[in-house]
Chain A
Amino acid sequence: MEPVIRLEDVHKAFGRRRILQGLSFAVEQGKTYVIMGGSGSGKSVTLKHIIGLLKPDEGRVLVKGQEVPSLNREGLLALRRKMGFLFQSGALINWMSVYDNVALPLRENTRLTETEIRERVMECIRLVELERAADQFPDQISGGMKKRAGLARTLVGEPEIVLYDEPNAGLDPIMSETINRLILDVQERFKVTSVVVTHKRACAYTVGDIIAIFDSGRIVAEGSPDEMRSSDHPLVRRFLGGIMD
């Protein structure tokens, strides 16, 4: 079967700085693909290519068989309605409360009534355990709470494909585990296809079907969690070896 997400030999440079250099990988329907790699190496840039926020200099980016860089505006909007993207920063709209932020995609893109919206939004807010902060504004809550609010907003539209940029950075170990379970739960319940960028081994092992190591602009190693555990590739050992955190 054709993979849902496929990157082929993607190159991207910002000015003279080459960030992606021959990046290729594919994610099968319903699978979770975990990317680990050094800070500033281009993982967020990779995710932005998949959702069409950035265009590659060379190479192909395919999502559900469509060439993302050459889609027109309508095509891109239609595709994005099926996708969710969790920004590394959360990227909440700063003049709207947490509740309104989570409700935003439903209010703008669907014809649901305010009561139906309220039900869906509160369910998502409960999943990330933010009931107490629903009426607060982004600048009144912590970084980890913004991350969770961003996650709720990502999931509220019930996307088929979800891209998570460091879903549990800046969270305490317990909340981190909750989020890992949430990602796993979403994947099992809705059969979503996802790409997860993370620095946490626990997250990679919990949610990943495939774990990949990203270095110097491409994937240098990938495999199932068991394969990666027993791999002796030096970078794999650096990122995944040692004690679990």
Chain B
Amino acid sequence: MGVLDDLGSGIRRSVTGAGFTLELLFCTLWRLPHLVRKIRFTLDQMFASGVRTIPVVMVVAVFAGMILSLQTGIELKRYGQHTLIGNIVAISMCREMGPFITALILAATVGSAMAAELGTMNVSEEVMALEVMSIDPLRFLVLPRIVALSLMCPLLTIFADIIGILGGSIVASVHLGVSFSFYLNSARESLTTIGSGLPKDVYVGLFKAWVFGITIAAVGCSCGLRAEGGAMGVGSAVRQAVKSSFLLIIIFGYVITWFFYSFLNGAF
């Protein structure tokens, strides 16, 4: 019985948690017009969330590109197709890997920090103090964070895409004998021939990154604002935030890919 009870309350908790997060997101969007007075906070948040994560994103993206290039390159070389490596790295970086690794890094660093900050404020009565001063915590705390991350996540993704493709080029020239200019040319070609105007792989990837950014911030804030019971409560809020963001990133990533490449193409 105990296990079933635990499971039951676990499910109930995550359902109310999801409801709270969605409500928080909608109420915050409703307050978007107030953003003009919160520009400074938003810029601060953008700096804290974006600029500070650039080094990590850079290292991870370089290696992701290199691994991608090496793994696929070895297989392709067996069939003598290794000249395609530029196309493959460019497409998978822009479509999947770039947004994905950026989002995971942001969830682990910035999302968890948001949960910790807001959680600490919540358990030390600071959020209550805001309410008492007639200051809306959603407008004051949540809005700048969501806007900041929804802008920074796509920006960092562009950065990760570029770095990842460059990382792939190192492996391509050292291990596969594909020259740098040839690699870059095929990368550019693969990204421009498919769509007209802005290449589809790029804009789908950026759309994904935008959704991920909003998700990470909303989940982080929501977990933080529900934290109760001192330092322990803040700890479990952070854990919950990272866990939920990871899950949602995977799920939303799949859904968006499916929508743009399968559903819209009439394949499903």
Contact = CB atoms under 8 A, between A and B. Distances in A.
Interface of A: 48, 51, 53, 77, 80-81, 83, 85, 87, 89, 91-95, 104-105, 108-109, 153, 157
B122 to A, nearest CB: 11
B263 to A, nearest CB: 40
B133 A92 contact: no
Given A77-B136, A87-B129, 17 more contacts: A48-B128, A53-B128, A53-B132, A77-B134, A80-B131, A85-B129, A85-B132, A89-B124, A91-B125, A92-B129, A93-B129, A94-B124, A95-B117, A108-B135, A109-B133, A109-B135, A153-B133
A85 B117 CA distance: 23
Contact of B120 (A51, A94, A108): A94
Which has the most chain B C-beta neighbours within 10 Å: A81, A93, A95? Answer: A93
B131 A91 contact: no
Contacts of A153: 133
B126 interface: yes
B121 A89 contact: no
A85 B128 CA distance: 10
Q: 5 closest A-B pairs (Cβ-Cβ)?
A: A91-B129, A91-B125, A85-B132, A105-B133, A80-B134
9 contacts: A48-B128, A53-B132, A89-B125, A91-B125, A91-B128, A92-B129, A93-B130, A94-B120, A94-B126
Contacts of A77: 134, 136
Which has the most chain A C-beta neighbours within 10 Å: B125, B133, B135, B140? Answer: B133
Nearest to B132: A85
Nearest to B130: A93
Contact of B132 (A51, A89, A93, A94): A51
A151 B193 CA distance: 66
A87 B124 CA distance: 10
A81 B131 CA distance: 10
Contacts of B140: 108
Main secondary structure of the interface of B (DSSP, over half): helix
A224 B152 CA distance: 61
Contact of A91 (B117, B124, B134): B124
Nearest to A109: B134
Nearest to A150: B129
B135 A104 contact: yes
Contacts of B117: 95
A156 B125 CA distance: 19
A109 B37 CA distance: 12
Which has the most chain B C-beta neighbours within 10 Å: A94, A108, A153? Answer: A108
Given A94-B120, A108-B140, A87 B125 contact: yes
Contact of B133 (A48, A89, A94, A104): A104
B42 to A, nearest CB: 15
A98 to B, nearest CB: 14
Contacts of B120: 94
Contacts of B130: 93
Contacts of A104: 133, 135
Contact of A108 (B128, B132, B133): B133
Contacts of B136: 77
Contacts of A53: 128, 131-132
A85 to B, nearest CB: 4
Interface string B106-138: 000000000001001100111011111111100
A95 B141 CA distance: 12
Nearest to A106: B133
Interface in B125-169: 125-126, 128-136, 140
B135 A105 contact: yes
A93 B134 contact: no
Contacts of B131: 53, 80
A61 to B, nearest CB: 15
A94 B121 contact: yes
Contacts of A87: 125, 128-129, 132
B112 to A, nearest CB: 17
